[in-house]
A = this chain, B = another copy of it.
Amino acid sequence: MSGEKKIITISREFGSGGRLIGKRLAEKLDIPYYDKELLDRIAEESGFCKEMIEGAEMKAKNSFLYSLASAMGTGEAGPESLSLNERFFLAQFDVIKKIADEGSCVIVGRCADYILRDVPEATNVFIYAEEEDKIKRAVEDYGVPADAVKKLMKDTDKARANYYSYHTGRKWGEPVNYHIAIDSGYIEIEDIVDLIIKYTDVKLYK
């Protein structure tokens, strides 16, 4: 689908460099990039405060408590009876749909692969790596202290998996949820970017 609208969603393990890949993809294709930028849009269009949105995923660290909080409404009738987690996810859902309607873009995280699963122009990418490669990147490139990296990596990916699973009913990181999955430890970032662009050029509409 060369020359057509390209929507690329990036799901990524902590330390895999997925965010950087998303950024470079957007730069190279000269299309908007949404990561933290997404939070601004959601805040703007939903009225939720940015800090609350930012923390939404990490609140899913404990899947039981997250499910419980999500299941509990406010006690009022109508859409108000949805929990804060649910209402926030719906706001995010609407904004991601709208962004994809507007034109080509790269979206990192936030269940965008699931939200855009029926959009033919969407290419869903999963970026992962072996543990030692992720640790190296997190310490050297992200500046995470060496003694904290393993726990932060585990907690972050666990929260992502729980959040994804709760809202989509699917398993985060399972190949079938993505069109292509790449280990970032065996190939330069620029080469991954080129490979993904090549993929989007030949992807079939379905």
Using known A-B contacts A181-B180, A195-B198, A199-B195, determine if residue A128 contacts B175 with beta carbons closer than 8 Å.
yes
Q: Report the copy number of this chain in the oligomer.
A: 2
Question: Does A185 make an interface contact (CB < 8 A)?
Answer: yes
Given A181-B181, A195-B195, A130-B202 contact (CB < 8 Å): no
Contact with B along A146-187 (1 / 0, CB 8 A): 000000000000000000000000000101101111110111
Distance, CA A204 to CA B187, complexed state (A): 6
Q: How far is the CB of A91 from chain B (nearest CB, A)?
A: 29
Q: Given A195-B199, A198-B195, A198-B198, decide whether A183 and B188 contact each other with a Cβ distance below 8 A.
A: no
Are A178 and B183 closer than 8 Å at their CB atoms? yes
Residues of B within 8 A of A176 (CB): 128-130, 183
Size bracket, chain A contacts: 20 to 34
Interface of A is mostly: mixed
Check A87 for interface membership: any CB of B closer than 8 A. Answer: no
Judge if A203 is at the interface, Cβ distance under 8 Å: yes
Expressed in whole angstroms, the Cα–Cα distance for A179 and B195 within the complex equals 13
Chain B residues, Cβ within 8 Å of A130: 176
Asked if A206 is at the interface of the complex by the 8 Å CB criterion, the answer is: yes
A-B contact pairs, 23 of them (CB 8 A): A126-B175, A128-B176, A130-B176, A173-B175, A175-B175, A175-B181, A175-B183, A178-B183, A179-B183, A179-B186, A180-B180, A180-B182, A180-B183, A181-B182, A185-B206, A186-B203, A186-B204, A186-B206, A187-B204, A188-B204, A195-B195, A195-B198, A195-B202
